[in-house]
Amino acid sequence: MSEKWPSSSSLRLMSFLFLIVSVILALVWSYYSSEWWSVAIGVVAVFFFIEAIAHMNVYAVLADLMPERQKREPTKSVK
């Protein structure tokens, strides 16, 4: 299998967006904390926060440490 991994810059951008979404959802959850349905917003906020940490630490670091997986296989030149 020679799948090209996403670039680490795009993974870092996704993690930054997930982090922003999780902070906004946490603020909305804290504002409506007295409502019963706000628990769902809190759970989604925690999910996005965990995804942001995973993208920042695991995927971006792996993409930087293993650049040989990102390289394309050499093509045969036709002369």
34-75, pLDDT tens digit by residue? 888 888 988 998 998 888 888 777 776 766 676 665 555 555
Structure-token match 């951008």, residue found: 13
At 10 the pLDDT is 74
List b or e across 8-38, with b for residues whose CB sees 16 or more CB atoms inside 10 angstroms: beebbebbeebbebbeebbeebeeeeeeeee
At 71 the pLDDT is 58
Q: Which helix (H) or strand (E) holds 42?
A: helix 38-54
CA 54 – CA 9 distance, rounded (Å): 14
DSSP class of 2: -
